[in-house]
Amino acid sequence: MNAEHQQFLAAGQRRASGAPLIRLENVSKRFGKVVAVDNLTLTIFEGEFFALLGPSGCGKSTLMRLLAGFELPDAGRIFLGDADLTGVPPHRRPLNMMFQSYALFPHMTVARNIAYGLRQERLGRGEIAFRVQRMLQLVQLEAVVDRRPDQLSGGQRQRAALARALAKEPRVLLLDEPLAALDKKLRGETQHELKEIQARLGTTFLIVTHDQGEAMSMADRIAIMDGGRIVQVAAPKELYEHPRTRFVAEFVGDINIVEGKLIGKEAGDWRVQTGWRDMPMLIRDEGEPLQAGESVAVAVRPETVTMHREPFKAEGPNAVAGQVQDVGFLGDLTLYRLRLDSGAVLRVSRPNATRTVEAPIGQGDRVTVSFAANAGILLRS
């Protein structure tokens, strides 16, 4: 890596100041009678890797198109720093977009694809050559600089598209499902590369995805969208461990949920009557204030549940008995689907920490399962 390239990366790291960069204020967008974005307010910080996550039709792609200028809001304002972008055409916005299809020119080499936008801006030959070389080094494509897109692997095409988008040095890079066309293994490798490149440059990245794992592994913060609105914005760990709503709990990762009713407190833990067993369970939750008599949902992640063969001993406040219905081996994990004696279904996951397991629990086995009071999450029904 030459001195100029090192200076460029250092400048990128300095730009990652954490100051507010993108602000959406009460933004709405309709398509006929369909409300795609509904009175949405959001702040994204400089140097942040931010993800918009949600199911199909939740409004995340429309929101990205509003930022890019491909759609105009029906109400509200969009700011980049102190500049009001509302009404500013796409080519005049200091951001760039990387499309799901990559949209590389098939007749151009990697170098010419990267240089295309710079030529459109009529930069000098020396500046274009410098930026192209810098991008090739950044995405590690120097060895294929003269190849056309059809001569590249899927991962190489993805990196070429990324280099072209970054060559214009945008303040914000918008990524629309950028890894959807890659296989699972390559997706995992590319997620790491994208995160590393973003951290080195300090450029603000905004990714739209419906893939929870993708968002969780790359983003500093995630906005969960549903019905054109943002349901929760938080860091991945916060979303996973402290979802605010049932929708977020069910959308982010795998989870068991049972309806319940708060009876009262016992040494700081809520006593909750559920359909999993006759006796109340104890749940320790420090989320929103709750009151006795309130209906709630109890959520428990499969990996927080312990499982042992019978004979059943009702040890602990959250122990129940059941029978293994299905077993799924995923390499690093084994997934169990249990039918509790109450008739409810419970999912349990166990890491495969060793290559062989003595007397593994299998289909049809009777088991006891339990979880700690602080493993449960209380959600308003």
For residues 200 and 13, is the Cβ–Cβ distance under 8 A?
yes
Select from 299, 262, 300 the least CA-distant residue to 379. 299
Residue 317: closest CA among 254, 274, 261, 362: 274
In contact, 221 and 233? CB cutoff 8 Å: yes
pLDDT of residue 1: 42
Burial 146-161 (b: 16+ CB within 10 A, else e): eebbeebeebbbbbbb
Residue 196, C-beta contacts closer than 8 angstroms, at least 6 positions apart: none
Residue whose token pair is 């169990």: 336
Report pTM.
Answer: 0.85
| pLDDT in the model for residue 359 | 65
DSSP type of residue 245: S
pLDDT at position 313 is 62
Give the residue range(s) of CATH 2.40.50.100 domains in the chain: 254-380
Q: Residue 260 and residue 238: Cα distance in Å, rounded?
A: 23
Both tokens of residue 216?
């969780």
User: Rg of the chain's alpha carbons, rounded to an integer?
Assistant: 25
Q: What is the pLDDT of residues 42-100, one digit of tens each?
A: 999 999 999 999 998 999 999 999 999 999 999 999 999 999 998 899 988 999 888 77
Token pair belonging to 317? 């406040």
Summarize pLDDT for 255-277 with one digit per residue, the tens. 999 999 999 988 889 999 999 98
Tokens of 108: 């151009």
Q: How many CB atoms lie within 10 A of CB 291?
A: 6
What lies within 8 Å, CB to CB, of 308 at 6+ separation is: 367, 368, 369
Please give the angle made by the CA atoms of 325, 329 and 335, to the nearest 5 degrees.
50
DSSP states of 308-335: EESSP---STT-EEEEEEEEEE-SSEEE
Q: What are phi and psi of 148, to 5 degrees?
A: -90, 165
Q: How many CB atoms lie within 10 A of CB 261?
A: 15
Share of the chain above pLDDT 70, in %: 91
What CATH number is given for 254-380 in this structure?
Answer: 2.40.50.100
pLDDT of residue 312: 59
Per residue in 104-115, pLDDT (tens digit) is 888 999 899 888
- What is 3-94+170-247's CATH superfamily? P-loop containing nucleotide triphosphate hydrolases (3.40.50.300)
Tell me how far apart the alpha carbons of residues 195 and 219 are, in angstroms, rounded to a whole number. Answer: 8
Query: Where does the chain hold its CATH 3.40.50.300 domain(s)?
Result: 3-94+170-247
Phi and psi torsions of 177, nearest 5°: 45, 55
Residues of the chain with pLDDT under 50: 1-17
Q: What is the pLDDT of residue 223?
A: 96
